[in-house]
Amino acid sequence: MLNLADIASDWTLFLDRDGVINQRPVNDYVKTVPEFRFIDGVVESLASLSRLFRHIIVVTNQQGIGKGLMSSADLDVIHAYMLDEIHNGGGKINRIYYCPDLKTSRDNCRKPGQQMALQAKRDFPEIDFRKAIMVGDTNSDLLFGRKAGMFTVYVGQETPTEAFDLRFDNLAAFTQAIKDQSIQKNNHK
């Protein structure tokens, strides 16, 4: 079970994108910058989280590319906008990993598969999955984190069928809970 008071500066935070960082379009994909809308409080939350975690990694399934609804270049433009806004707000994202494959592709890299977690570990060898948290809004996010040995945090209103360690309404509520634990921990020193 995840104890928020255990989080230290050597921990890594993995985040899903759609539904955690930005609003998830209903039965659609974010294909352009105007369609990308940050969830309230996310930019401010990422500024706080950037001071608490060594690495913040985004892992996202983007099958809109595989369906031909957008290109990798389109996604790069969206991610450049997202990173600029987060950076301008005082936050950081160390790396974004995405999978363009279709759900129906036989050998796909989509979550809950481990390809994006393993690539992050290759790129950042100091990542310890036992000191990592996956925050997501779908069962595949939670299973992805569990398979890698991470703690998992569910954000959203639905009831997932996969197990998770903690649940919050959104990333801002998760961030506030960490900050509250940090204050309590410092007051007891």
* Per-residue pLDDT tens digits for 98-125: 999 998 888 889 999 999 999 999 999 9
Of all residues in the chain, the percent with pLDDT exceeding 70 is 96
Instruction: Give the model's pLDDT for residue 103.
Output: 87
Of all residues in the chain, the percent with pLDDT exceeding 90 is 88
Q: Compute the distance between CA of residue 150 and CA of residue 135 in angstroms, rounded to an integer.
A: 10
34-43, 46-55, 101-110, 167-176: least confident range: 101-110
pLDDT tens-digit readout, 134-165? 999 999 999 999 999 999 999 998 889 999 99
Name the residue among 147, 79, 82, 76 with its Cα closest to residue 111.
147
Q: Which domain holds residue 73?
A: 4-187
User: Which three-class secondary structure string do you get for the chain?
Assistant: CCCHHHCCCCCEEEECCECCCECCCCCCCCCCHHHCCECCCHHHHHHHHHHHCCEEEEEEECHHHHCCCCCHHHHHHHHHHHHHHHHHCCCCCCEEEEECCCCCCCCCCCCCCCHHHHHHHHHCCCCCHHHEEEEECCHHHHHHHHHHCCEEEEECCCCCCCCCCEEECCHHHHHHHHHHHHHHHHHCC
Q: Give the domain CATH number at 167.
A: 3.40.50.1000
The catalytic residue positions are 16, 18
How many domains does the chain fold into? 1
Instruction: Give the model's pLDDT for residue 105.
Output: 85
Instruction: Give the model's pLDDT for residue 188.
Output: 63
Mean of per-residue pLDDT scores for the chain? 95
pLDDT tens-digit readout, 72-97? 999 999 999 999 999 999 999 999 99
Instruction: Give the model's pLDDT for residue 189.
Output: 60
Mean pLDDT value across residues 54-77: 97
